[in-house]
Amino acid sequence: MPRRVVVTGIGMVTPGGMHPGPLWERLCQGSPGGAAIRRFDATPFTVSEAGEVDEDLPLPLPPRLTKRMDRYSVLAMAAAQLALDDSALDVATEDPDGVGISIGNMYGGWGITDPSLRGLLQEGYASVSPYVASAWFPTAPQGQMSIFWGLRGYAKTIAADTASGAAAIGYAARAIQDGHADVMLAGGAEAPVTPYAYAFCQVSGRMGDAYRPFDRRAEGFRVGEGAAILILEEEERAAARGARTYGEVAGWSTGHVGGPEPWPDGDRRLAEVVEEALGEAGIAASSLDYVGLDAQGDRRADRAEAAALAGAGGNGLRALCTTCKPGLTNLLGAAASAEAAVALLAMQRGEIPPIAGCDEPDSSVELDLVTGSCRTASLRHALVVARGADGVRGALVLKGSPGAGNNRTWGVYGGAYGGA
């Protein structure tokens, strides 16, 4: 039988903060994330607001290391360190061949590359930064983590648009289930707030002045930078070292659909993927308590997602549905991993944060949307849905640990890096 996979650590570095107390408070306030971009003049862009991580956050990394990495690698490394601290896992004492890495991102890194190439073109530089080649590459966070912690285990980088973070967690869980790894650092990272990368975001046509998913005025999303990393472990080894767990990655499925989207009758492939993940987890759609929505913030795309979910498992979905994305901004390649982290925290706390910006819910959406304020509920089973513009569909099923809802503190992380 496949081995069971539990989550023993969570690390997040987001525009909403990195300490769980203030971050959760922000999400429960239901305030939309994003502000005027500070790093460059964004007035030529149709949308000039995005989510930026506070430059003053005390990231748990040595400065000498961050100077040679792109910002998305820095955010990934910081979130990974926070997750390791939260799990009380000392990778230096682990078998390096048994600890792996699975990271998702969408654009790679342009914080170093963009100004270097711009200078080369406009000013005729004789050379560019020697770090350009290794800074922008999509596998840079994976490589930097491997080098920094001396890890030689199963490794994978996923580039699947906004489904990247979910796929990274899903494939990491598979690696443990199949015996290819005992521990995995899994999640996503993105840093698109540079002139070049932000131009890509604008050209995609998915950005909007306000991020109001499942609202009748929905018109797109706001992008942001950030990272969310989970520590996944084989259940028995986690128990043997006395690790506390947030829950279990009980089901994962992915698929692909071609052709234009969205579809008038809903996203059928998404419904199939959800049902496959539920089948692997051994639970019915009617047993779901919580759904972390993909929430593209486009009326047609949101309606297609809602129709797929409402029909999954024979119209048996009764879960409370929400998303952290508008509160944090859409972290693109890290969006789904942040959604998974928030779902695990929601099960641990027994609270569901509302959908920020959804003040006038779309009456055609047949889901129980959490709006306005946090809702208290007993949560055992959660679903996280992810869709990429390239057609990737993904679904993660999470089971809460026994005793969830007891307001467990967030490990070492809570006291180590400030906050309430």
Mean pLDDT for 307-326 is 90
Q: What is the pLDDT of residue 135?
A: 81
Predicted confidence band of residue 419 (pLDDT cuts 50, 70, 90)? very low
- Look at 263 and 296; give whichever has higher pLDDT: 296
Q: What is the pLDDT of residue 374?
A: 95
Q: What is the pLDDT of residue 131?
A: 75
- Give the H or E element holding residue 187: strand 183-190
Residues 232 and 266 occupy one common structural domain? no
Q: How far apart are CA 191 and CA 419, in angstroms?
A: 23
Confidence (pTM): 0.94
Residues 140 and 182 occupy one common structural domain? yes
CB within 8 A of 62, min separation 6: which ones? none
Question: Tokens representing 120?
Answer: 């080369």
Convert the pLDDT of each residue in 53-94 to its tens digit.
988 878 888 888 887 889 999 999 999 999 999 999 999 999
Q: What is the pLDDT of residue 249?
A: 98
Q: What is the pLDDT of residue 314?
A: 73
| CA-to-CA dists, residue 90 to 93, 151, 168, angstroms | 6, 12, 22
The residue among 217, 240, 263 that closes a domain is 240
CB within 8 A of 260, min separation 6: which ones? none
Residues 259 and 233 occupy one common structural domain? no
As for how many domains the chain has, the answer is 2
Q: Is residue 245 part of a domain?
A: no
Residue 154 has pLDDT above 60, yes or no: yes
**What is the DSSP code (8-state) at residue 215?**
B
Find the distance separating the first CA and the last CA of the chain, reported in whole Å: 42
What are 233's strand-pairing partners? 6, 183
Residues 17 and 157 occupy one common structural domain? yes
Residues 191 and 281 occupy one common structural domain? no
Q: How far apart are CA 384 and CA 125, in angstroms?
A: 46
Mean pLDDT of the chain: 90
| For the chain, percent of residues with pLDDT exceeding 70 | 92
Q: What is the pLDDT of residue 112?
A: 81
| CATH classification at residue 90 | 3.40.47.10
Residues 186 and 255 occupy one common structural domain? no
Q: Is residue 417 part of a domain?
A: no
Mean pLDDT for 354-382 is 96
Mean pLDDT for 293-305 is 95
Convert the pLDDT of each residue in 173-207 to its tens digit.
999 999 999 999 999 999 999 998 999 999 999 99
Residue 402 has pLDDT above 80, yes or no: no
Residues 276 and 189 occupy one common structural domain? no
Range of the structural domain that residue 336 is part of: 251-399
Per the CB < 8 A criterion, the answer to whether 127 and 301 are in contact is no
Residues 229 and 304 occupy one common structural domain? no
Q: What is the pLDDT of residue 278?
A: 97
Question: Tokens representing 341?
Answer: 């982290």
Cα 213 to the center of its chain, rounded Å: 17
Convert the pLDDT of each residue in 90-143 to its tens digit.
999 999 999 999 999 999 988 887 777 777 777 766 666 777 777 888 899 999
Residue 406 has pLDDT above 70, yes or no: no
| For the chain, percent of residues with pLDDT exceeding 90 | 75
Q: Is residue 415 part of a domain?
A: no
Residues 209 and 296 occupy one common structural domain? no
CB within 8 A of 142, min separation 6: which ones? 101, 103, 155, 156, 157
Q: What is the pLDDT of residue 258?
A: 75
Predicted confidence band of residue 403 (pLDDT cuts 50, 70, 90)? low
Q: Is residue 246 part of a domain?
A: no
Residue 8 has pLDDT above 70, yes or no: yes
CB within 8 A of 158, min separation 6: which ones? 102, 103, 104, 105, 164, 165, 167, 168, 171, 188
368-369 vs 375-376, strand pairing mode: unpaired
Convert the pLDDT of each residue in 317-358 to its tens digit.
889 999 999 999 999 999 999 999 999 999 999 999 999 999
Residue 420 has pLDDT above 80, yes or no: no
Residue 135's SS3 state is helix
Neighbours of 246 (CB within 10 A): 27
Neighbours of 414 (CB within 10 A): 16
Convert the pLDDT of each residue in 223-242 to its tens digit.
999 999 999 999 999 999 99
